[in-house]
């Protein structure tokens, strides 16, 4: 039965058109999602909040009228005007024989190149002095070939002669060694598989539908789209720390700006509603196999007699899937059900897996937890009933992004005093600095980022340049940031410390033991509290390594296999310049890269894979308590992978040419200067006044929001001078609204 079912699954019905007939192949049940909203997903989500997380902010503040379509049309008119002329580069090419002491002609001529044995030809302008090698490189990079595998023939009267690479181009040439000027995509017998219906999996599915490549399916073990991180790890009160302009699903050239959100930092439920709405609008829901766990995977390959490229050695991947009933996830891991779920076999041509952010909390048990007489948890999975903590003291152990997020959550639920216990301080990111990094066309220099963050750190009388994560020169003109934890992004971290509501308690060892409603630190201090939130970071799942049969990650490809692609957002911060703090730009590029090498696997074999420059990462068992799976890579691994792919895959540049413009302009239109600062200030003032009403900060001057349009424009003007970033089409009106 399972083999017969595999044959049925091998070719999905309706692959040549929009997939209405694809509703539930292979007997996999689907959950009807029509009519669901952020409210009925969790009706109690805001019941106990004194502050609506999606309350519209800065209502009535004027915004620019410039549209995304107007801006992108300007970019297209300047970048897509047909084949670019071929200019001879004298600095890189030897001069023609006999002309070593003279200038090569730069008169423009029209060159026509025809494919041997075909009627297909291409025509473009070129300098008279351009060489055959320059033409060969242009053609080879377009179709993904070695330029020296091409041969050029010129007709002279009644004769034909072979042309040498150093020769000057002819007005009419014939090229041999190529079938078409258009790249031919690889065709597979089985459908592509995406595992994970989170942000990245949904974005890749959208690309496939855009390209009318309907032969794919998406598996996810949750009952709705959105990803495990937002669906399961996050609490009902969780919010986006970055801005939605750099974190939304319909992110790309052909999509209108999102209108789903009422604040730059939407709630978990607003984001899930956005994912679901966009997935339905873009027509990818029929490809979803929700409530489905991919249990195992086998590789079916040709034998040793196969002499082709490595990417074609695999015939197919055989997946065993099972239906998932409720309650099968415990602290992020799949556990055995009361009875076995219905299993199916599915044959796949490729597997793109996106396990999301790290799924398991780093666990630690303290001596005396049994006598503490209060709530102890990891602040995930809705395990903590925050409304019971009103008026109580809470100890947060950790200083990463989720710890900063929980400061806000505790404030919203009326927690009285918050102790943040850590071994050393990590850099935290003010909202304005995140906003600045996300709106740049050219990356923001770390030194500029640090200087822009100083107003917030001055408020709490700390010097961010002195932090362990920062390495800089004496004049502070260059800066390297290396930090194990990701930035916690939020202004409330700085505000609550200034007001005295949060105390950062440094202890080089940490928690020693617990007694009744008291935390004892190794340094001798005792913290009276009624709840402990252990936010010690997240770790990966070894089960993912086993499922994908990973020996080592080569870039983002399992064992260097172009058809097994796995991306989990790299951990840590390692950078000298900052391109952004959010996920959509990365999801856009990672999706394009994965799909490009599925279409052209030989480009992977002959490019990044053979370069030897892709970083490798295997299982790290140096920490016995929490081994690090191979798929969990750090930021340096991710950056090196991106650089290598870019250098050795010129054909990919055509797909990613507009990515920087998309990031910068969409973010600026979603979050114009005056509106964003007004929203950040309104949120700041709400919490400041609330803390004052609780008795915090009454002996200090009122903390005015430390950023104004003038301050922001000063830093951004310097960034443009330092990076050479040009003004963008939307900037003039944006600055005019700020009287700048």
- Using one digit for the tens of pLDDT, what is the confidence trace for 41-61? 454 545 556 678 899 999 999
The string of DSSP letters for 566-625 reads E--PPBSEEESEE--SSSHHHHHHHHHHHHHHHH-HHHHHHTHHHHT-S-EE--B-SSSS
Which CA distances in Å does 305 have to 299, 308, 402, 661? Answer: 17, 9, 52, 48
pLDDT at 90: 63
pLDDT at 740: 82
The string of DSSP letters for 499-531 reads HTSEEEEE-SS-EEEEETTEEEETTS-EEE-SE
pLDDT at 26: 33
Expressed in percent and rounded to 5, the helix, strand and coil fractions of the chain are: 35, 20, 45
Q: What is the mean pLDDT of residues 361-373?
A: 93
pLDDT at 304: 76
pLDDT at 81: 45
- Quick check: 115 pLDDT over 70? yes
Return d(Cα 565, Cα 558) in angstroms, integer: 6
pLDDT at 383: 82
pLDDT at 395: 98
Of 337-341, 457-461, 670-674, minimum mean pLDDT range: 337-341
Reported confidence tier of residue 33, pLDDT bands at 50, 70, 90:
very low
- Quick check: 336 pLDDT over 70? no
Closest CA to 530 of 410, 684, 404: 410
Share of the chain above pLDDT 90, in %: 66
- Quick check: 28 pLDDT over 50? no
For residue 209, give the 3-state DSSP assignment.
helix
Return d(Cα 568, Cα 566) in angstroms, integer: 7
Reported confidence tier of residue 160, pLDDT bands at 50, 70, 90:
confident
Reported confidence tier of residue 379, pLDDT bands at 50, 70, 90:
confident
pLDDT at 729: 92
pLDDT at 471: 97
CB 519 within 8 A of CB 421: yes
pLDDT at 281: 96
Closest CA to 600 of 641, 655, 659: 655
CB 202 within 8 A of CB 284: yes
- Using one digit for the tens of pLDDT, what is the confidence trace for 262-295? 999 999 989 999 999 999 999 999 999 999 999 9
- Quick check: 327 pLDDT over 80? no
Closest CA to 377 of 395, 392, 359: 395
- The mean of the pLDDT values for the chain is 87
pLDDT at 6: 40
Return d(Cα 661, Cα 441) in angstroms, integer: 6
List Cβ neighbours of 513 (8 Å cut-off, separation of 6 or more). Answer: 366, 367, 368, 520
Higher pLDDT, 88 or 405: 405
pLDDT at 312: 80
Q: Across the beta sheet with 292-301, what order do the strands follow?
A: 292-301, 314-323, 343-348
- Using one digit for the tens of pLDDT, what is the confidence trace for 658-684? 899 999 999 999 999 999 999 999 999
Domains and CATH numbers, the chain: 2-60+190-360+547-660 (3.50.50.60), 85-143+145-182 (3.10.20.90), 365-536 (3.50.50.60)
pLDDT at 654: 80
Q: What is the mean pLDDT of residues 517-525?
A: 97
Cβ neighbours, 10 Å, residue 338: 7
- Quick check: 35 pLDDT over 80? no
Q: Rg of the chain over CA atoms, in angstroms?
A: 28
- Quick check: 296 pLDDT over 90? yes
Return d(Cα 224, Cα 124) in angstroms, integer: 50
Pairs from 383-390 (Cβ < 8 Å, separation ≥ 24): 384/235, 384/531, 384/533, 386/48, 386/235, 386/237, 386/410, 386/412, 386/413, 386/415, 387/47, 387/48, 387/413, 389/413, 389/414, 389/415, 389/530, 389/531, 390/414, 390/415
Output the CA angle 513-519-520, nearest 5 degrees. 55
Q: What is the mean pLDDT of residues 518-525?
A: 97
Closest CA to 580 of 423, 711, 442: 442
- Quick check: 550 pLDDT over 90? yes
Sign of the dihedral through C-alpha 385, 387, 393, 398: positive
CB 514 within 8 A of CB 366: yes
pLDDT at 339: 64
- Using one digit for the tens of pLDDT, what is the confidence trace for 630-648? 999 999 999 999 999 999 9
Q: Count the alpha carbons within 13 Å of 500 in the hemisphere toward its beta carbon.
A: 11
Return d(Cα 422, Cα 76) in angstroms, integer: 50
- Quick check: 360 pLDDT over 90? no
The two most distant CA atoms of the chain are separated, in Å, by 101
CB 565 within 8 A of CB 353: yes
The position carrying tokens 């894979």 is 609
- Using one digit for the tens of pLDDT, what is the confidence trace for 488-504? 999 999 999 999 999 99
- Quick check: 235 pLDDT over 50? yes
The string of DSSP letters for 287-356 reads GEE-SEEEEEEEEEE--TT--S-GGGTEEEEEEEEEE--TT-EETTEE---SSPPPEEEEEESEEEE---
- Quick check: 155 pLDDT over 70? yes
């Amino acid at each position: 039965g399972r083999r017969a079912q595999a044959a049925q699954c091998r070719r999905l019905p309706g692959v040549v058109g929009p997939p209405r007939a694809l509703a539930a192949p292979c007997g996999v049940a689907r959950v009807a999602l029509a009519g669901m909203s952020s409210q009925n997903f969790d009706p109690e989500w805001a019941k106990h909040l004194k502050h609506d997380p999606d309350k519209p902010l800065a209502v009535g503040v004027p915004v620019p009228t410039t549209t995304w379509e107007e801006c992108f049309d300007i970019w297209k008119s300047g970048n897509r005007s047909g084949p670019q002329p071929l200019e001879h580069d004298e600095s890189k090419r030897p001069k023609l024989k006999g002309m070593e002491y003279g200038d090569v002609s730069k008169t423009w001529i029209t060159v026509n190149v025809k494919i041997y044995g075909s009627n297909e030809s291409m025509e473009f302008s070129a300098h008279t002095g351009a060489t055959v090698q320059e033409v060969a490189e242009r053609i080879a990079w377009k179709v993904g070939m070695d330029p020296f595998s091409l041969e050029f023939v010129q007709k002279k009267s009644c004769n034909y002669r072979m042309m040498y690479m150093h020769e000057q181009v002819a007005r009419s040439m014939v090229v041999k060694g190529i079938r078409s000027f258009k790249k031919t995509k690889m065709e597979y017998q089985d459908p592509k598989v995406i595992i994970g219906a989170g942000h990245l999996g949904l974005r890749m599915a959208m690309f496939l539908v855009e390209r009318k490549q309907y032969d794919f399916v998406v598996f996810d073990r949750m009952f709705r789209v959105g990803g495990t991180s937002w669906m399961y790890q996050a609490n009902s009160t969780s919010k986006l720390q970055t801005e939605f302009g750099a974190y939304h699903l319909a992110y790309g050239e052909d999509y209108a700006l999102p209108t789903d959100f009422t604040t730059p930092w939407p709630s978990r439920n607003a984001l899930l509603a956005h994912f679901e709405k966009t997935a339905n609008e873009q027509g990818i829901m029929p490809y979803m196999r929700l409530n489905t766990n991919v249990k195992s995977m086998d590789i079916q390959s040709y034998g040793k007699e196969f002499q082709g490229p490595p990417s074609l050695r695999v015939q197919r991947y055989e997946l065993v899937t099972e239906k998932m009933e409720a309650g099968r996830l415990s602290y992020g891991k799949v556990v055995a059900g009361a009875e076995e779920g219905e299993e199916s076999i599915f044959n796949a041509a490729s597997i793109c897996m996106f396990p999301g952010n790290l799924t398991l909390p780093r666990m630690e048990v303290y001596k005396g937890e049994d006598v503490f007489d209060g709530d102890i948890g990891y602040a995930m999975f809705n395990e903590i009933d925050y409304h019971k903590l009103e008026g109580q003291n809470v100890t947060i152990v950790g200083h990463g992004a989720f710890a900063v997020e929980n400061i806000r959550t505790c404030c919203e639920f009326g927690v009285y005093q918050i102790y943040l216990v850590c071994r050393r301080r990590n850099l935290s990111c003010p909202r304005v600095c995140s906003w600045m990094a996300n709106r740049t066309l050219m990356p923001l220099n770390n030194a500029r980022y640090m200087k822009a963050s100083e107003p917030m750190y001055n408020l709490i009388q700390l010097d961010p340049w002195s932090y362990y994560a920062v390495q800089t020169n004496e004049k502070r003109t260059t800066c390297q940031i290396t930090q194990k934890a990701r930035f916690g992004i939020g202004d409330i971290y700085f505000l609550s410390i200034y007001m005295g509501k949060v105390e950062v308690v440094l202890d080089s060892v940490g928690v020693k033991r617990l007694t009744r409603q008291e935390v004892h630190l190794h340094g001798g201090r005792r913290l009276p509290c009624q709840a402990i939130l252990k936010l010690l970071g997240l770790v990966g799942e070894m089960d993912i390594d086993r499922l994908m049969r990973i020996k080592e990650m080569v870039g983002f490809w399992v064992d260097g296999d172009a058809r097994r692609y796995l991306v989990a957002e790299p951990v840590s911060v390692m950078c000298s310049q900052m391109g952004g703090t959010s996920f959509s730009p990365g999801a856009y590029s990672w999706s394009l890269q994965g799909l490009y090498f599925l279409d052209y696997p030989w480009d992977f074999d002959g490019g990044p894979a053979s370069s030897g420059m892709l970083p490798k990462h295997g299982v790290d068992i140096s920490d016995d308590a929490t081994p690090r799976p191979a798929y969990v890579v750090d930021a340096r691994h991710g950056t090196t992978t991106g650089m290598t792919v870019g250098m050795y895959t010129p054909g990919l540049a055509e797909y990613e040419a507009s990515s920087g413009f998309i990031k910068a302009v969409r973010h600026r239109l979603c979050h114009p200067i005056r509106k964003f600062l007004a929203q950040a200030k309104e949120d700041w003032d709400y919490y400041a006044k609330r803390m004052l009403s609780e008795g915090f900060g009454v002996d200090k001057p009122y903390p005015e929001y430390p950023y104004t349009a003038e301050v922001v424009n000063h830093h951004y003007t310097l960034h443009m001078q330092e990076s050479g970033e040009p003004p963008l089409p939307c900037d003039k009106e944006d600055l005019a609204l700020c009287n700048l």
